[in-house]
A and B are shown apart, each in its own frame.
Chain A
Amino acid sequence: MTTLAPPLCARTSPFVALHRPDDAAPAALVEGGLNILDLSCAPRLRTVLAPADPAVSLPVPGAALRGRHGWLVARLSAGGVIALPSPTQAPLSVQARGDEAAWPIAPGPACDPGFAHGYWLYCVGASAPALFRHGCETDMRPGCFGDLSVCQTRLFATSVLVLREDWGGRPGYHLLGCGSYAQHMEKTMQNLMARYGGAVLTPGQLAMDGAEPLAQF
């Protein structure tokens, strides 16, 4: 395991109850369940591009593209962009913090990656879409909100950025929201995991359970 840079060592996830003791054996992904990976301490970049920035080919608003090195770049609006490292490589990507060349897009007038969204969860498994049945008033059916779609919506009465990224053929959703609602979200996730089954995954465990998606640009 690569040694993390000091800034990330100092970060703590807002999710405490979700995490297993350090000496616990890694949990295996439950195919039919709702599995969760906490990426809150991993870097992410949310920025605003100049209107005609030709720096990089971007997806249309509401969609995402996978870039080199596993970065996922999602277009939130005409100028709004968020970039997320691969769920399995997020801790390694930490090394790239502060090195603008390593980001898939120029930061521009950016928020600190960690500031933009206090928590970041990746939910994957056959029951992951049930999240939205229980807590979202936006139509997130797989046919309407397909792989690599992104939207800002309300989930369990809080504002959440949802980015769909399927993993090994399983539906998967990145959820990013304000850290002040993390405990609320944590309790909700625990209830849903108790109902549908599921595990709290580590990046390594997720990597064992599906091939890394291919880069699109």
Chain B
Amino acid sequence: MSPKRLFRLPEPWGSRLDRATPVAFHFDGRPVSGFAGDTLASAILADPRHGDFLARSFKYHRPRGPLLANGMDANQYVTLDGTPNVAADGTRARDGAQVRSQNVAGSLARDRGALLGTLARFLPAGFYYDTFFRPAGSWPFWERIIRRVAGLGRLDPTLDAFGPEEPEPEKHHLFSDVAVIGAGVAGLSAALGAAREGREVILIERDEALGGRSAFARLSPAQRRDLAALIAQVERHPAITVLTSTTCAAWFEGNLLTAHARERYYHVRARHVIAAVGSVEQPLVLRNNDLPGIFLASSVNRLMAGYALCPGRRCVVQTANRFGYETALALAEAGCTVLAVLDMRAQPVDAALEAQCAALGIAVLHGLSVVEAHRAGQHLGAVSARSLDANGHPTGPVTRWRCDTLVCSVGFTPLVQLACHSGGEAIYDTALSALRITRSPRNSSVCGSLNGIYDFDAVCQDGQRAADVACGKPASLRPEPAREPVNFPWTVFPHRKGKEFVDFDEDQTIGDIETAVQAGFGHMELMKRFTTTGMGPSQGRTTALNALRVFAGASGQDLAHLRMTTQRPPFEPEPFANLAVDTSPPQRRGALDRWHRENGAVMMPAGAWLRPAHYGGEGDEEGSVEREVRAVRARAGLFDASTHGGFQLAGRDALALLNAAYVQDFSDLACGATRAGLMVDELGAVIDDCVACRLDADRLYLVTSSAAAAATNRTLRKLIVEHGFDVTVCELQGAMSVLNLCGPQARAIIAALWPAHAGELDALALHGFCQCTLEGIPAIVLRGDFVGETTFEFHVGSGFALTLWNRLLAAGAPFAIRPFGVLAQRVLRLEKAHFIIGQDTDHATGPDDIGKGAAVAMDKPYFLGRSAIAKLRTKAAPAKALRPFCLDASQRQAPEECRLLEGPGGVIGRVTSAAYSPTLGRVVGLALLDDPAAAAGTVRLWGAQAAGAKVRFLDHAPYDPAGERQA
């Protein structure tokens, strides 16, 4: 193992650490000791038993150290307790954790996958597009290999991602007057400013503490006091809700923000959004710029100030702004040897900082830049620097320093992604040499480094200005960006041997972007897709600026006219478990649901509802259904039909509404009478049926099918608006329960239960109805015929359903009444050849196809679908036909739905429903025939199951064809 470079600093370094509380866990099977407050990465990197890096790169398996150290770096992903792709530099270390490196073949130190790096010249961007399609048919072979090496981490499908001890993720809906994204100095100032104006504020911060980059920066004592005061005021303010360790993943139109913490998924809606998201430092692009030992200044500050982790002992600092100087001073104070500060700017800018460096013996050299990093083993061993000319081109002799650490601070890129999600646009500002947001989304403002402002006091002022804008106050002028830009315009130094990485996620180099341009991908979006630059987990945060510069150079385009590629949510990877929270609609359950389940019902989903399939318990479906069918046919059965759609129509135009909605003519529907209705759509296809009961002059009660209730509701309301009908529609599905008492003993049960009403109910004609109060329960009672036995449908408010159900069962006990479920009902209705719309019809089945053509009142001036039916009737093509059929008695297995029927000349139609009838001792069903005439010949079932079974079509219902049992 190469000598350890990173080491732990003494106190007071490490503001995040609680050194009194040790933490122990394992990394790649070996123990790690850290402190409470450590991240996984800081603990591993500080432990002398482990190396200086904990991950390998995606494509070439190159060792990668911490670049950003803030949880945004794809090269710091590890597998934590079986969960892959956990950001080691953004996740707290915890006792007992099992952490493993990922994307390695062998061990982290000796990764066989690194062999790919030696073959890099043969594996340029998009090489697989040109390679693996020849010879023809070879792709499946290569695909297996490519899929094995591609991707980061492996999912364990058996793993509970949130662990048995952890709560399931949940969704929270939050609302505020102002939402502030980012709790750095700008965000804190903005949040406090808005709260002081009486606004409710939500402050979202992805770090675990407030302060942003300033919390680790080298501030003056006064600035440090101001920051502490700012944080304290924000934390104490009652109008500010602070969400830490929470990442804002997306900013949608209308100021909807989605954010996620580990166990929470937030939807935040705000009247005004202030983006104070800060920026990330940008790496230099030079040969071997990815070696462990090369750091960004901001990550060095974070590691030292927050986690007491020193990056090395012999350092060179490359800078083009004051932050590099400040980091050099911090390194020197920590005991490192700072060999030199190389300032890319030709002239001194800050004499005070240079004087402080000189006081510590740090050499400051101007107009120089590191142009190549040299390895020592798997680590940085030396850097080579050259002078820069006025256009940023290296010139003159090479100077070489032996060092184990290179710290770079040559520019920042604001985190423009979120603002771009919601319509903002990121452009390259040549004055700032940086990306900047233009065209802010509506009701939003940006502040801090998004405006190119980096000075502490100016950032505070800009946050307050954003708050003023959010509160509708006259805003003060935006502070001017720093007089000396923090970004240096020339940060790309190509090398003839390559390995100058632009994208650290995807291992894309200058050469890859040039290859894309040479291949004709002359637009940033095309280059991005060809090379995958910016498409990795860090979504271009450390890539965008340098990629623009390299692309501009390769394509000869003006940098000022280039645009950053489209930014899409999420801002960083989100666990699927978060996205899946609360996405399933709840199932609807009738008022008798508990009774059913407590009495042996096996429940089945039926659309949005759960219904009893049968009452025989698990494992006895066939026997149970048979017993239920026989009970209905021989004695009595009770069926819960509460999922029926139900509507109350009130108003003088109620009948006119029915005339517009259904094909039948309801004009002469008398009070106290019922009429069946058939609804078709604009294309003339049947979509629902109903029974309409006229309660009085202006009120109707409408019973529709279960599945189409919502669609029927919409149709009725649409027609009311279109025609200006004076009708009020009240939907009653779920509010009403329907209990069907069926069987030859139904009348006797009613007589026993309600002697006072027996006469009235007994006198009901088939399809008649009455309104009555049955032992205190107001009810509408209908005479139905769906199962082919004497049937009374009791329509009652759902609050009464359980009482009525129990009364009917008690009264029916002497008659051996039995509740029956949906499966028995399906058998019973097929025995009577009753169809169900949607089950036995499809989107092209019209009234004529199901034998209801005579019911269509074409003499009405209008009804929904009238013109379509009129046109269909002018065509010569014969109508289809829905016909009952049965199979030979030897055939007990019912064909499944959609089984094709084969006639003498080929396929003539399909089965729509079928079931074994215990009453008839054979399979019965319905079939939709495209060619009804062909049914006269020999017809067989098509396919393997029941192959060759002969189908016998009937001209009448298989059971009780004369309807004598419903008299």
Determine whether A156 belongs to the interface, using a CB cutoff of 8 Å to chain B: yes
B732 with A6: CB separation less than 8 A: no
Chain B residues with Cβ below 8 Å from A41 are 799
Set B586, B699, B800: member contacting A157, Cβ < 8 A: B586
A10 with B800: CB separation less than 8 A: yes
Set A11, A109, A133, A135: member contacting B651, Cβ < 8 A: A109
Determine whether A14 belongs to the interface, using a CB cutoff of 8 Å to chain B: yes
- Measured between alpha carbons, how far is A114 from B773 in the docked complex, in Å? 15
A134 with B590: CB separation less than 8 A: no
Determine whether A22 belongs to the interface, using a CB cutoff of 8 Å to chain B: no
Shortest C-beta distance, A175 to chain B (Å), equals 15
Q: Count of A residues near B, CB < 8 Å?
A: 44
Chain B residues with Cβ below 8 Å from A14 are 591, 798-799
- Measured between alpha carbons, how far is A116 from B731 in the docked complex, in Å? 8
Residue of A whose beta carbon sits closest to that of B698: A109
Determine whether A2 belongs to the interface, using a CB cutoff of 8 Å to chain B: no
- Measured between alpha carbons, how far is A115 from B734 in the docked complex, in Å? 9
Q: Of B60-68, B171-179, B536-544, which binds chain A?
A: B171-179
Determine whether A143 belongs to the interface, using a CB cutoff of 8 Å to chain B: yes
Chain B residues with Cβ below 8 Å from A156 are 582, 586
Residue of B whose beta carbon sits closest to that of A112: B797
B269 with A139: CB separation less than 8 A: yes
- Measured between alpha carbons, how far is A140 from B804 in the docked complex, in Å? 39
Determine whether A178 belongs to the interface, using a CB cutoff of 8 Å to chain B: yes
- Measured between alpha carbons, how far is A157 from B206 in the docked complex, in Å? 29
Set B593, B775, B778: member contacting A112, Cβ < 8 A: B778
- Measured between alpha carbons, how far is A114 from B734 in the docked complex, in Å? 12
- Measured between alpha carbons, how far is A191 from B83 in the docked complex, in Å? 28
Determine whether B218 belongs to the interface, using a CB cutoff of 8 Å to chain A: no
- Measured between alpha carbons, how far is A110 from B269 in the docked complex, in Å? 37
Q: Of A59-67, A163-171, A180-188, A209-217, which binds chain B?
A: A180-188
Encode contact with A along B558-602: 1 for CB under 8 Å, 0 otherwise: 000000000000000000000000100111111101100000000
Encode contact with A along B766-790: 1 for CB under 8 Å, 0 otherwise: 0000000101111000000000000
Determine whether B648 belongs to the interface, using a CB cutoff of 8 Å to chain A: yes
Residue of B whose beta carbon sits closest to that of A144: B175
Residue of B whose beta carbon sits closest to that of A137: B173
Chain A residues with Cβ below 8 Å from B609 are 180
- Measured between alpha carbons, how far is A9 from B804 in the docked complex, in Å? 12
Which interface residue of B698, B775, B777, B797 has the most chain A CB atoms within 10 A?
B797
Determine whether B518 belongs to the interface, using a CB cutoff of 8 Å to chain A: no
Determine whether A136 belongs to the interface, using a CB cutoff of 8 Å to chain B: yes
Shortest C-beta distance, A29 to chain B (Å), equals 25
B735 with A6: CB separation less than 8 A: no
Shortest C-beta distance, A195 to chain B (Å), equals 10
Encode contact with A along B800-844: 1 for CB under 8 Å, 0 otherwise: 111110000000000000000000000000000000000000000
B728 with A109: CB separation less than 8 A: yes
Chain A residues with Cβ below 8 Å from B587 are 184
Which interface residue of A7, A157, A158 has the most chain B CB atoms within 10 A?
A7
Determine whether B170 belongs to the interface, using a CB cutoff of 8 Å to chain A: yes
B802 with A12: CB separation less than 8 A: yes
- Measured between alpha carbons, how far is A163 from B609 in the docked complex, in Å? 27
Determine whether B650 belongs to the interface, using a CB cutoff of 8 Å to chain A: yes
Determine whether A88 belongs to the interface, using a CB cutoff of 8 Å to chain B: no
Within 8 A of B (CB), among A130-151: 132-137, 139-141, 143-144
Determine whether B313 belongs to the interface, using a CB cutoff of 8 Å to chain A: no
- Measured between alpha carbons, how far is A115 from B269 in the docked complex, in Å? 35
Set B590, B594, B777: member contacting A180, Cβ < 8 A: B590
Residue of A whose beta carbon sits closest to that of B797: A114
Determine whether A179 belongs to the interface, using a CB cutoff of 8 Å to chain B: yes
Which interface residue of A10, A12, A156, A182 has the most chain B CB atoms within 10 A?
A10
- Measured between alpha carbons, how far is A110 from B736 in the docked complex, in Å? 15
B594 with A13: CB separation less than 8 A: no
Shortest C-beta distance, B241 to chain A (Å), equals 11
Shortest C-beta distance, B710 to chain A (Å), equals 11
Residue of A whose beta carbon sits closest to that of B731: A178
Determine whether A48 belongs to the interface, using a CB cutoff of 8 Å to chain B: yes
Chain B residues with Cβ below 8 Å from A10 are 775-777, 799-800, 803-804
Chain A residues with Cβ below 8 Å from B94 are none
Chain B interface size range: 35 or more
Residue of A whose beta carbon sits closest to that of B271: A139
Chain B residues with Cβ below 8 Å from A48 are 650, 728
- Measured between alpha carbons, how far is A13 from B801 in the docked complex, in Å? 10
B173 with A136: CB separation less than 8 A: yes
Chain B residues with Cβ below 8 Å from A6 are 775-776
Determine whether A127 belongs to the interface, using a CB cutoff of 8 Å to chain B: no
Q: A14-B798, A157-B582 are in contact. Are A179 and B172 (CB under 8 A)?
A: no
Determine whether A117 belongs to the interface, using a CB cutoff of 8 Å to chain B: yes
B586 with A158: CB separation less than 8 A: yes
Determine whether A16 belongs to the interface, using a CB cutoff of 8 Å to chain B: yes
B173 with A133: CB separation less than 8 A: yes
Residue of A whose beta carbon sits closest to that of B608: A180
Determine whether B146 belongs to the interface, using a CB cutoff of 8 Å to chain A: no
A181 with B588: CB separation less than 8 A: yes
B735 with A178: CB separation less than 8 A: yes
Determine whether A27 belongs to the interface, using a CB cutoff of 8 Å to chain B: no
A12 with B803: CB separation less than 8 A: yes
Residue of A whose beta carbon sits closest to that of B594: A16
B776 with A9: CB separation less than 8 A: yes
Shortest C-beta distance, A194 to chain B (Å), equals 12
Determine whether B730 belongs to the interface, using a CB cutoff of 8 Å to chain A: yes
Shortest C-beta distance, B397 to chain A (Å), equals 66
Chain B residues with Cβ below 8 Å from A118 are 591, 734-735, 798-799
- Measured between alpha carbons, how far is A184 from B800 in the docked complex, in Å? 20
Encode contact with B along A37-80: 1 for CB under 8 Å, 0 otherwise: 00011000010100000000000000000000000000000000
Set B200, B735, B736, B800: member contacting A143, Cβ < 8 A: B200
Chain B residues with Cβ below 8 Å from A143 are 200
Determine whether A111 belongs to the interface, using a CB cutoff of 8 Å to chain B: yes
Residue of A whose beta carbon sits closest to that of B699: A109
Chain B residues with Cβ below 8 Å from A110 are 650
Shortest C-beta distance, A198 to chain B (Å), equals 18
Chain B residues with Cβ below 8 Å from A109 are 650-651, 698-699, 728
Chain A residues with Cβ below 8 Å from B797 are 11, 112, 114-115
A7 with B736: CB separation less than 8 A: no
Residue of B whose beta carbon sits closest to that of A10: B803
A184 with B798: CB separation less than 8 A: no
- Measured between alpha carbons, how far is A135 from B699 in the docked complex, in Å? 37
Which interface residue of A112, A135, A182 has the most chain B CB atoms within 10 A?
A112
Chain A residues with Cβ below 8 Å from B775 are 6, 10
Encode contact with B along A10-38: 1 for CB under 8 Å, 0 otherwise: 11111010000000000000000000000
Which interface residue of A110, A115, A141, A183 has the most chain B CB atoms within 10 A?
A115
Q: A12-B803, A111-B730, A133-B174 are in contact. Are A181 and B698 (CB under 8 A)?
A: no
- Measured between alpha carbons, how far is A115 from B170 in the docked complex, in Å? 33
Within 8 A of A (CB), among B725-773: 728, 730, 732-736, 773
Q: A133-B174, A141-B175 are in contact. Are A11 and B803 (CB under 8 A)?
A: yes
Determine whether B495 belongs to the interface, using a CB cutoff of 8 Å to chain A: no
Which 10 A-B pairs give the minimum distances between C-beta atoms?
A6-B776, A109-B650, A180-B734, A180-B588, A184-B586, A11-B799, A178-B734, A139-B175, A10-B803, A114-B797
Q: List 22 A-B contacts (CB under 8 A).
A: A5-B776, A7-B776, A7-B777, A10-B804, A11-B797, A12-B799, A12-B803, A111-B730, A111-B735, A112-B797, A115-B648, A133-B173, A134-B170, A134-B171, A135-B582, A137-B269, A139-B269, A140-B175, A141-B200, A156-B582, A180-B589, A180-B590
New A-B contacts (20) at CB < 8 Å, excluding given A109-B728, A140-B175? A5-B776, A10-B776, A10-B803, A12-B799, A109-B650, A109-B651, A109-B699, A114-B797, A115-B648, A118-B798, A133-B173, A134-B172, A135-B582, A139-B175, A157-B582, A179-B735, A181-B586, A181-B734, A183-B594, A184-B587
Interface residues of B (CB under 8 A from A): 170-175, 200, 267, 269, 582, 585-591, 593-594, 609, 648, 650-651, 698-699, 728, 730, 732-736, 773, 775-778, 797-804
